[in-house]
Amino acid sequence: MIAKSIGIIGAGKMGEAIINGLLSSRSLSKDQVLAVEVSPERSKYIRATYGISCDDRVEELVNVSDLIIIAVKPEVVASVVTEVGKTIGKEPLVSIAAGVTIEFISKYLPKRVPVFRAMPNIAAYVRAATIAIAVADGSAVKSRSLKMVDETLGILGKVVFVDERLMDAITGLVGSGPAYIYTIIDALADAGVRLGIPKDLSIILAAQTVRGASIMVLETGKHPALLRDEVVSPGGTTIEGLVTLERGSLRGLLIEAVTSAASRAKSLGS
Ligand SMILES: NC(=O)c1ccc[n+]([C@@H]2O[C@H](COP(=O)([O-])OP(=O)(O)OC[C@H]3O[C@@H](n4cnc5c(N)ncnc54)[C@H](OP(=O)(O)O)[C@@H]3O)[C@@H](O)[C@H]2O)c1
């Protein structure tokens, strides 16, 4: 059950990724997706690029949307939700703001509103996002709104339902994750350049290698360490590369990166 009309408040980077993901899926038409944005230049850009309604009128958006997505920065969530709370009925509301809890959001809304906290990533733009969704215990969330949120956000990628206490960790892993992988792809591509491969070709080779390895993990269901061992032959080339990665503590660095991003997410909510 996909929402018939989706209202997105905050048409910045993530808001735009969601708009593009929804429209490019062709599951929804231009008149089923609308946005609210404070910046007039940004609104103009969104209207011109996507042909959807985008202005600064929250009340109108709330009146016609049967699913509302809050995609503003964490520090603006309280004022936006207060505005939404004035006219919202029983429509589900999804916040994607890092660190902001369901309890915090619910304070500004009537009790009847089903509140969801989600953490997608920028790959929503190409419908390849990872989207973790949490629901508060004993909240107004009914199976109908759960199904609507699941199937509508499912257009943008892979949805997993999680306990809210995992959301800050998931923000460090999923929300920030694409930036780590972009860095890895760029570094792999630079290695190609060092060895004589033109950069544009090298980027494609590196990105496709990352994609292939990801699909192997997801489709075979094998543990990544096992998949790695399967491609490391004794005395071969790959073990030489892996030894270099171990010397530079790549694994430790990635673990530290996710941990620091998660603690930053936690601090945004307090
Ligand atoms: N970027 C990511 O990869 C990512 C991933 C997962 C989750 N998130 C979450 O998504 C949210 C948005 O992040 P972002 O990166 O898209 O930020 P962003 O690019 O700054 O987008 C936020 C947009 O909301 C607008 N805005 C501010 N106040 C508003 C209001 N009262 N009503 C309507 N629009 C308003 C901003 O306009 P102005 O610039 O004029 O203020 C801006 O265009 C954040 O809470 C973040 O934690 C982001």
Question: DSSP string spanning 75-106?
Answer: GGHHHHHHHHHTT--S--EEE--TT--HHHHH
- CATH code of residue 240: 1.10.3730.10
The pTM of the full predicted model, rounded to 2 decimals, is 0.95
Same domain, 163 and 186: no
Q: Which residues contact 69 (CB under 8 A, 6 or more apart)?
A: 6, 7, 8, 9, 15, 18, 93, 94, 95, 96
Work out how many domains the chain is built from and give that number.
Answer: 2
My answer on whether 42 and 129 are in the same domain is: yes
CA of 77 to the centre of ligand 1 (A): 10
Please name the residue whose Cα sits nearest to atom 38 of ligand 1.
39
Q: Does 255 fall in a domain?
A: yes
Q: Which residues pair with 160 in a beta bridge?
A: 132
Annotate 213-228 with b (16+ C-beta within 10 A) or e (fewer).
Answer: eeeeeeeeeeeeeeee
- pLDDT in the model for residue 12: 97
Q: How far is the CA of 70 from the centre of ligand 1 (A)?
A: 9
Q: Examine the domain organization and report whether 220 and 157 are in the same domain.
A: no
In a domain, 26, yes or no: yes
Query: Which atom number of ligand 1 is nearest to the Cα of residue 179?
Result: 3
Distance CA 122, CA 141 (A): 26
Q: Is residue 1 part of a domain?
A: no
In a domain, 172, yes or no: no
Rounded to the nearest whole angstrom, what is the distance from the C-alpha of residue 74 to the centroid of ligand 1? Answer: 8
CA 136 – ligand 1 centroid, Å: 23
CB-defined site of ligand 1, < 6 Å: 9-15, 36-39, 42, 71-74, 76, 80, 96-98, 119-122, 175
Instruction: Report if residue 238 sits inside a domain.
Output: yes
Instruction: For residue 94, tell me if it sits in a domain.
Output: yes
**Is 126 a domain residue?**
yes
Residues 185 and 162 in one domain: no
* Distance from residue 83's CA to the centre of ligand 1 (Å): 16
Residue owning tokens 């969104």: 46
Nearest ligand 1 atom to the CA of 74 is 45
Block mean pLDDT (10 aa), the chain, length 270? 95 98 95 97 98 97 97 96 95 96 95 95 98 82 89 97 96 96 98 98 98 97 98 96 96 97 87
Task: Give the integer Cα–Cα distance in Å for 166 and 149.
Answer: 19
Look up residue 198 and give its DSSP letter: -
Question: Domain span at residue 93?
Answer: 6-167
Residue 197 within any structural domain of the chain = yes
pLDDT on residue 140 = 66
Q: Are strands 115-119 and 129-135 parallel, antiparallel or unpaired?
A: antiparallel
Residues 153 and 210 both lie in one domain: no
Q: What is the pLDDT of residue 142?
A: 74
Q: Whose CA is nearest to atom 19 of ligand 1?
A: 12
Asked if residue 152 and residue 18 are part of one domain, the reply reads yes
9 Cα–ligand 1 center, Å? 9
Which atom of ligand 1 sits closest to the CA of residue 121? 5
